[in-house]
Chain A
Amino acid sequence: MSTEKIIHGRSAGFFPEFSRRPGNNHTNMHYCPGCGHGILHKLIAEAIEDLEIKDRTVLISPVGCSVFAYYYFDCFGISVPHGRAPAVGTGLVRSNPDDIVISYQGDGDLGAIGFNEFIQTANRGENMAVFFVNNAIYGMTGGQMAPTTLPGQKTVTCPLGRSVTNEGYPLKVSEMVSALDSPVYVERVALSSGKNILRARAAVRKALNNVIEKKGFSMVEFLSGCPVNLKMNASQVNEFIDERMCKYFPLGVFKDIADTRDSIKRSSGVYAPEAVRKVLYPQYSSSSVSRDFQNPSPFFAKERRLKVAGFGGQGVLSFGHMLATMGKLRNFNVSYLPVYGPEMRGGTASCSVVVSRKKIASPVVDRDCNLLVVLNDESLEKFLPELKPTGVLIFDSSNVHVSRLRRTQIAYCVNASDLARELGDLRYANSILMGALAKLMDDFFLQETDKADFERVVEEAIRECFADKSEVIRKNINAFYLGKQAASRWNAPSDGQ
């Protein structure tokens, strides 16, 4: 062992000493004699040295024999889950678009377990080079069938030879990936004869140059030998590559369109606090009150639990959202919990809103409801039992028929759907109903100053909920005042309880 000598010296793309390799041998690679990985490693090492990209190259080691590639290359390294190298590479190159990312993968890694990551990364046109080593067999795990194992070729998991009816035909990766629009360069080369290796050398450099120029996704497929698992010596392996593999996997350039593509430009992140605030903080507040304002009416001292229910499409959820927005604009803690699901369209939709000066515990209003707003009969039937004995009910008298309430419960109604249709759009019904709520609040719960403020906060909430749509805002505000005018207290029929 100690008599080994390095004759030509080692490329500076490699570490001078492989000290990451466990054990005492820090001179040689772990690859078997005659293995294609050693040749390809050398071609890559020389290229990253010559192209002067060592300081910004990340070599991703896959799972397979080349899992330890990071023992050798004098650049950044990471070993990743089986087949996921292109996804990891995506995270790397999107984080730093100046990185030169090399995804080094074998046929099991790329063609079997990781084909989706590979093909999708290619399809996104990520700026990276994938070097795909196809040796028609699994090496590290001990000679099992690869997706590229040739028809009839015997392996330990196809001992009678690969059957195209049982295992299918070998996967033609270069052909498949070159069918996509995004990749800029796809070539298949062979690590067999000297001539072929020189072609491979050029292909490595071409792919890396594309990455340097940010042209996008390049892949080079290397037909490579695995003497141990193919049970051949080095020259037999070369013959296997040249005579058998090349017949099924023809060498050549499948795609080379880098010249036609512009360099990929990526934005750089904005982190200055002022700029971040500008994007994330609301640009203006609809609220006309100061941040320590509190409505004085005693009604607001307690937590108020509200529920809105009706058909999907009646504006149930936007009514709840508007109530929550009003609370927020007056410095309450609020929660708004919509009930989604298959019932969203056509069926019953509902939402819970809680408005409180204290921290809100349960956001689910399923009992002790203080205010129930219903837009159809089904909702009335379903949720009226949840209304507190002292609770209030607002309903759309166009659709809802109330027959009885407890004596202590108050109800206000307005023919919201009919009025909304007159205004030209059923969607104004909820602003009209908000008018009924305002009238009820005026009549029973609000002090003088809060009466005006309630109208103000409805307008502010409408502005906030409909953002820049000035016409929609105007019509909803009109609908609100119309509703307030038209709303009236519901009186129990004489035979009511």
Chain B
Amino acid sequence: MQNNNRNLLLSGNEAVVYGALLAGCDSFFGYPITPASEIAHTAAAKFPELGRVFIQAESEISAINMVMGASAAGRRTMTASSGLGISLKQEAVSYLAGAQLPCVIVDVMRGGPGLGNIGPEQADYNQVVKGGGHGSYRCIVLAPDSAQEMCDMAFLAFDLAEKYATPVYILTDGVIGQMKESVLLPEPLPPREIPENALDIGRKRSNYFTSIYLEPDELEAHNVHLQKKYSSIQLKEERSEGYLLDDAEIVLVAYGICGRLACNAVDDLRHYGIKAGVLRPLTLFPFPVRACRLAAEHAKRFLSVELSCGQMIDDVKLAIDCSRPVGLINRMGGNMLSVEEIVERTGQFL
């Protein structure tokens, strides 16, 4: 089943760099921040080894703007950060979405608000999944829960970024980022063509990127185009995974580390005779609306399990049109939920 020669023990932070390089990523621009720093460390070692570009930028702001330049040049490019660093990037992410430039941004979440702490939280949900910067835009958001998915989703992230010409986030938490797991490395992609619209030698020099449209009608048309694109993403790219979901009366919705804890909690709940299941979104935008609705057909209650104040819970409620009660099981401040606590608090809802 496994090929030992491709099997490595990697942290999620390391694995996402391996995945990105295997997916043909040309450049990494970043600024250190716990708990995402190992991404920069690994990139600093591996990108130059493959003759590719690594720059430690002077700030998160510069890093994401370097990404903008590399993306405009038609390259596969990425950055990585956490919480407060992502806040700094939001201006440029709005420009990237507006100018329809693809790139990959990894967010390994930590505790907030403000400086918060370096414990695992999932409190960047709103700023990443709902847009975050100015203007009406959305970014595709992938939610890996293991080092293997950190690696594999790098491929998916670049594919989707280019397919829809938009920034894609890989959103995870400090646990998934720093935990080491066995990872089966995928095959590298063959060299890729620089796209036709790139600002690059050999491409039409009339190519340009902008996000400014002075005429209101023009800007409205641009917005309508973007919204159509996001609708199409919602229609085609919803992804989720179910665990014991088919007959579940209690549906625990959880992503990242919480998804894994929820699976163990569901095992315990089933042991007590409670028909519980896990719905784990693999995409947070688009939120897996159809999977939620399908689960609602037999579910009596949904529970949003998250390491934030209750941010994802809004999407759960919207997905099922509040047709079932939706409860919240959460911790904040960098505290982890334990499996026992999830079981206990699920019990309180029954």
Chain A: residues with CB nearer than 8 A to chain B?
20, 22, 54-58, 61, 67-68, 70, 74-81, 84, 87-96, 98-99, 116-117, 120, 124, 267-273, 275-277, 279-282, 285, 287, 291-292, 321, 324-325, 327-329, 331-338, 340-341, 360-364, 366-367
Contact = CB atoms under 8 A, between A and B. Distances in A.
Contacts of A267: 48, 51
A285 B188 contact: no
B212 A80 contact: no
B190 A90 contact: no
A78 B9 contact: no
Residue of B24, B69, B77, B218 with highest tally of chain A CB at under 10 A = B69
A286 B188 CA distance: 23
A70 B4 contact: no
Contact of B201 (A55, A117, A269, A321): A55
Contact of A22 (B5, B91, B214): B214
A465 B9 CA distance: 11
Give the interface centre of A77, A79, A93, A95 by most chain B CB atoms within 10 Å.
A95
Contacts of B71: 91
Contact of B210 (A79, A287, A292, A362): A79
Contacts of B179: 335-337, 363
B62 A328 contact: no
Given A22-B215, A273-B187, A363-B179, A291 B3 contact: yes
A281 B50 CA distance: 13
Interface of B: 1-9, 18, 21-22, 24, 26-27, 29, 46, 48-53, 55, 57-59, 61-63, 65-75, 77, 91-92, 95, 99, 118, 175, 178-182, 185, 187-192, 199-201, 203, 205-212, 214-215, 218, 257, 260-261, 263-264, 267, 336, 338-340
A67 B71 CA distance: 20
A84 B65 CA distance: 7
Q: Which residue, A87, A269, A363, has most C-beta atoms of chain B within 10 A? A: A87
Contacts of A324: 9, 180
A287 B4 contact: yes
Contacts of A287: 4
A84 B94 CA distance: 14
Given A22-B218, A99-B200, A328-B7, A91 B65 contact: yes
B245 to A, nearest CB: 15
Given A273-B188, A334-B9, A362-B263, 9 more contacts: A58-B199, A88-B68, A91-B27, A91-B69, A91-B71, A95-B75, A271-B50, A280-B188, A338-B178
Majority secondary structure of chain A interface residues (helix, strand, loop or mixed): mixed
Contact of B26 (A58, A92, A269, A332): A269
Contacts of B68: 78, 80, 84, 87-88, 91
Nearest to A335: B181
Given A70-B208, A81-B65, A88-B72, A117 B5 contact: no
B178 to A, nearest CB: 7
Contacts of B218: 22
Contacts of B257: 363
Given A81-B91, A338-B178, A360-B181, A87 B9 contact: no
Contacts of A98: 201
B5 A281 contact: yes
Given A91-B77, A364-B261, A285 B4 contact: yes
Contact of B188 (A276, A328, A335): A276
B142 to A, nearest CB: 19
Closest 3 CB pairs of A and B: A91-B69, A87-B65, A77-B208
Nearest to B190: A273
B51 A269 contact: yes
Contacts of B3: 291
Contact of A117 (B9, B18, B62, B72): B62
A96 B95 contact: no
A335 B264 CA distance: 15
Which of B27, B95, B336 has the most A CB atoms < 10 Å from its CB?
B95
Given A273-B188, A277-B188, A285-B4, A67 B212 contact: yes
A272 B191 contact: yes
A272 B22 CA distance: 10
A336 B9 contact: yes
Nearest to B4: A285
Nearest to A59: B208
B264 to A, nearest CB: 4
Output the residue of A78, A267, A325 with the most chain B CB within 10 A: A78
The interface centre, meaning the residue of A98, A124, A268, A364 with most chain B CB atoms within 10 A of its CB, is A364
B205 A271 contact: no
Given A81-B91, A88-B69, A267-B48, A321 B208 contact: no
Nearest to A320: B180
Contacts of B214: 22
B50 A91 contact: no
A76 B69 contact: no
Nearest to A355: B182
Contact of B62 (A55, A116, A268, A334): A116
Contacts of A93: 69
A79 B66 contact: no
A334 B73 contact: no
8 contacts: A57-B205, A58-B72, A76-B207, A84-B61, A88-B69, A95-B74, A360-B181, A361-B260
A124 B5 CA distance: 39
A74 B50 CA distance: 34
A361 B264 contact: yes
A55 B204 CA distance: 8
A337 B69 contact: no
A317 B63 CA distance: 32
Kindly name the residue among B65, B189, B215 whose own CB sees the greatest number of chain A CB atoms within 10 A.
B65
B182 A328 contact: yes
Contacts of A328: 7, 9, 182
Contacts of A337: 175, 178-180
A89 B69 contact: yes
Nearest to A465: B9
A287 B257 CA distance: 30
Nearest to B119: A341
A321 B179 CA distance: 11
A291 B72 contact: no
Contact of B69 (A57, A87, A362): A87
Q: Which of A54, A281, A292 has the largest count of B CB atoms less than 10 A from its CB?
A: A281
Contacts of B59: 116
A120 B58 contact: yes
B65 A269 contact: no
